[in-house]
Structure 1
Amino acid sequence: MQSQKKVEDLLKQYPLCDSCLGRQFSSEHRSLDYASTGRDLRQQAGLTNTAEQQQQKQKPCYICGSLLSSLDRYVELVVNAVKGYEFSSIIIGAKIPISITEKEDHLRAEMKLRGGETVKTNFTGELNRVVSRRLGVEARHHVPDITVVIDTLIDHAEVTPRPLYVFGRYVKTQRGIPQKRRRCLECRGEGCPKCNLTGYSTSDSVEQRLSEPLLNLFKAGKVKFTWLGGEDTDSLVLGRGRPFYAEVSEPMVRKPSNLESVMQAVNGAIALKEISILEGVPSSDRGFTVTFESNAALDQPVAEDVVKKLETAFTGAAVTMTPPGRSSLTKKIHKLTVESVEGDDKKRLRLRVECDGGLSIRRFLTGENSEVKPNVAEVLERKVVLDESAPFDILDVGFET
């Protein structure tokens, strides 16, 4: 009887739709949805067919205006907005005028109602329920494939697909191709006509050759690479290839039927050797090993027995790498093999090294800036100069996904 009296008092002062009425008494009628609760309360209070109530029902709801009664329109807005996207789960949020929330707070305070969910939660809950059934997908709060936010002021739906992650390996069989795209010197990455508004130079790179096929495959807006190590522009990458992760943003396609086709699209001086879609965000701190071969010139001749000391000094040993302005890192040299000491003057040295990933190969060989200690130049007591046309080649990168 007490709630019936409150319903009567409430409806005498405020025109409310069934959902907004039922939501104020949801704790007492938990088995019903808000609209059904509102209809039952109105009927129990004997206010269903009175002339006053019929007149009041013609007025916009004091709390939501016509928001909840316009649910079908917003359902169509979402359905049209997500056309063309591939997804199996969705979550829909909403931006509603703050005045709606304030009106509900005012009404509850004045009428001393505990209420339940807010009008926004009510609206988005119904929207998720109806849309998910309509499209045959799951309404999921935790990592949905696609997120839609409705702006009820301007009837606009903003669609944000969840990024997906790709693992792959590439080989590089031609020197002179950098790994990363260079920022446009004209606009410094801001985007200008010279760089086609991309912010990047149009010159060749591994990143550029991989990006376009991935963007086309997933019909995506952007791709961002995380490389497991890097090589010089004039180095080759051979063997199984260098591993990388790619974050594919704004994908319209999540499960392409022709995933391997991207390997055919990236085939030549830069070739894609492996590609797979990952289940989640990849770990960024997993270790890997690198096997490389280098050709270096020494400033003084050196006997083969002296050079062989390199194998003893470094195989199984740890070196310390101290990049400028950063903390020191310890890297292990798993194996160092002197393949040959060449030239009549015994000044050309060919090495094969297996080491932890992330080691600066150039500085390990030359001792440049003393950033890696000990280093080859230090142990030989000779100046080591790399052949800049072919400084070192990556023979293999050991890494398990």
Structure 2
Amino acid sequence: MDDSDPLATARALLATGPLCDACLGRPFADRSFGLRNEERGKGLRVAVALADDADYDAPDADACWVCEGVCGRFDELAERCVEALDGTEFDTYQLGTRVPPLVEENEVLLREDAGLEPDAGELLKSEVNREVGRRVGRLTETEVEFERPDVQLTLDLDADTVDVQRNSIAVYGRYRKLERGISQTDWEKYDHSVESFVSPAITTAHRGTEGVFHGAGREDVDALMLGTGRPFVLEVKHPRRRHVDLPELEEQVNDDGDGRVEVEGLRYATYEMVERVKMLDAGKTYRMDVEFEEPVTAADLAAAVDALDGATVDQRTPNRVSHRRADLVRERTVYDISGELVDEYHAELTVDGEGGLYVKELVSGDEGRTEPSLAGLLGVPAVVTHLDVLAVEGEDEPFADPEYLLEADGDD
């Protein structure tokens, strides 16, 4: 058939059996723009009737042999989607549709019987997505989003169900750990974790099913995290609320922390932030209490510290983590280091180092696995007895960039 003649093509389609206007117009969807398929079909049906001096006869959608009534249910299907979203807060959505296999087969047969290509025009799935989707947006006063919507609706016409996928939200902040013996994430060996203090309040406030904690690195369990705190993102899974008063929530988290863990600067963040926080190779500033096995003089300590200031250090994977990390030699830079004796057996050091610098091993030497080291330069065994992290700052840190942070409602 010469499908360049619209009327001839329309006659061939109408000859296949009773067609609703939408199913008649859909094979022509790629030939005109700005019209709905129902409008295209109605126009073609009228044109054929006038050209053939025949009666205009448009069957109900329920009688259509192709869609089997689906095109007459757009309003009803949209209302069902809205009902499925009841109790869910969202600003953006996307709709997907599963069409019954028999209806998909009818679409193929329609084009085949009319002598058209199998993909001519538009398929029913696309029309349902658009027509039902636009109605959902109008009823809920929300916007369609194709990249990462707040909710993803799946309309299964065969099973006659509506599935709602609530995409996670990300809450960014910084935490301080003010008590030793607290791990960053839940670990059965320890009674408390930063996650256990932070996650429940944030997850509950957003009516989520689970909170997943992601830190920009982690400090040792026996280390404090002080100063400006460590960046983190809490990923709230399947939230029913997406907007809460974050300053108020911050106060609640800090009350739950009971002086052991506190947070600040809670903000909503893009989902991309989760990966950026996890992958951040941040520089860190540490304060350390050091104990020497033999007496050390102030002059010797000053000379050793001066040798380490700005030094590039070769560090083989430390013995203490070698069971879970690849045995590699890494180069790391000591940006700045200072220290003073407390007495001849004890000193206090402050170290500003490149991300990934093992500072305990920078002091002890780790049986020669770190070169140079404080112990090696002094010729005296040395260990870190207490470690506090004062700052975590990435050289290319995205966290202050408004492109990646979404302010809480009402904030400037």
Normalising by the residue count of structure 1, what TM-score does the alignment of the two structures yield? 0.84
Query: What is the CA–CA distance in structure 2 between the aligned matches of 1:78 and 1:135, rounded to whole Å?
Result: 10
Q: Evaluate the alpha carbon distance shift between residue 304 and residue 57 of structure 1 in structure 2; reply closer, same or farther with a 3 A threshold.
A: closer
Query: What is the CA–CA distance in structure 2 between the aligned matches of 1:234 and 1:311, rounded to whole Å?
Result: 24
3-state SS in 1 of match to 2:285:
strand
Q: Evaluate the alpha carbon distance shift between residue 326 and residue 89 of structure 1 in structure 2; reply closer, same or farther with a 3 A threshold.
A: farther
Are 2:20 and 2:61, in contact at CA under 8 Å, matched by a contact in 1?
A: no
Percent of residue pairs identical: 27
Are 1:229 and 1:357, in contact at CA under 8 Å, matched by a contact in 2?
A: no
Q: Cα deviation per residue 1:226-247 (whole Å; 9 max; x = unaligned)? A: 2123222222222222222222
In the other structure, the counterpart of 1:359 is: 357
3-state SS in 2 of match to 1:65:
coil
Q: Evaluate the alpha carbon distance shift between residue 38 and residue 258 of structure 1 in structure 2; reply closer, same or farther with a 3 A threshold.
A: same
Deviation above 6 Å: which 4+ runs of structure 1? 47-52
Are 1:335 and 1:355, in contact at CA under 8 Å, matched by a contact in 2?
A: yes
Q: Which amino acid aligns with 1:42?
A: R
Query: What is the CA–CA distance in structure 2 between the aligned matches of 1:341 and 1:385, rounded to whole Å?
Result: 15
Q: Cα deviation per residue 1:89-142 (whole Å; 9 max; x = unaligned)? A: 211111122332222123212321243111100111101111111211112223
Aligned residues: 377
In the other structure, the counterpart of 1:273 is: 264
In the other structure, the counterpart of 1:187 is: none
Query: What is the CA–CA distance in structure 2 between the aligned matches of 1:249 and 1:39, rounded to whole Å?
Result: 46
Q: Pick from 249, 259, 265: which aligns with 1:261?
A: 249
Q: Which amino acid aligns with 2:112?
A: A
User: What 5-or-longer segments of structure 1 have no aligned partner?
Assistant: 185-200
Q: Pick from 202, 210, 235: which aligns with 1:247?
A: 235
Alignment partner of 1:331 is 2:332? yes
Query: What is the CA–CA distance in structure 2 between the aligned matches of 1:99 and 1:361, rounded to whole Å?
Result: 66
Query: What is the CA–CA distance in structure 2 between the aligned matches of 1:262 and 1:59, rounded to whole Å?
Result: 55
Normalising by the residue count of structure 2, what TM-score does the alignment of the two structures yield? 0.82
Alignment partner of 1:238 is 2:226? yes
Alignment partner of 1:80 is 2:83? yes
Query: What is the CA–CA distance in structure 2 between the aligned matches of 1:239 and 1:107, rounded to whole Å?
Result: 70
In the other structure, the counterpart of 1:193 is: none
Q: Cα deviation per residue 1:10-36 (whole Å; 9 max; x = unaligned)? A: 323322221111112334443421111
Query: What is the CA–CA distance in structure 2 between the aligned matches of 1:302 and 1:202, rounded to whole Å?
Result: 36
Query: How far off is 1:327 after superposition?
Result: 4.8
Q: Pick from 147, 153, 157: which aligns with 1:152?
A: 157
In the other structure, the counterpart of 1:189 is: none
Q: Which amino acid aligns with 2:193?
A: S
User: What 5-or-longer segments of structure 2 have no aligned partner?
Assistant: 318-324, 400-412
Alignment partner of 1:298 is 2:292? yes
Q: Which amino acid aligns with 1:329?
A: R
Are 1:89 and 1:139, in contact at CA under 8 Å, matched by a contact in 2?
A: yes
Are 1:311 and 1:335, in contact at CA under 8 Å, matched by a contact in 2?
A: no
Q: Cα deviation per residue 1:344-374 (whole Å; 9 max; x = unaligned)? A: xx22232221212332222222222654332
In the other structure, the counterpart of 1:385 is: 383
> Superposition RMSD on alpha carbons, in Å?
2.8
Query: How far off is 1:205 after superposition?
Result: 0.9
Alignment partner of 1:38 is 2:41? yes
Q: Evaluate the alpha carbon distance shift between residue 46 and residue 147 of structure 1 in structure 2; reply closer, same or farther with a 3 A threshold.
A: same
Are 1:146 and 1:161, in contact at CA under 8 Å, matched by a contact in 2?
A: yes
Query: What is the CA–CA distance in structure 2 between the aligned matches of 1:369 and 1:211, rounded to whole Å?
Result: 39
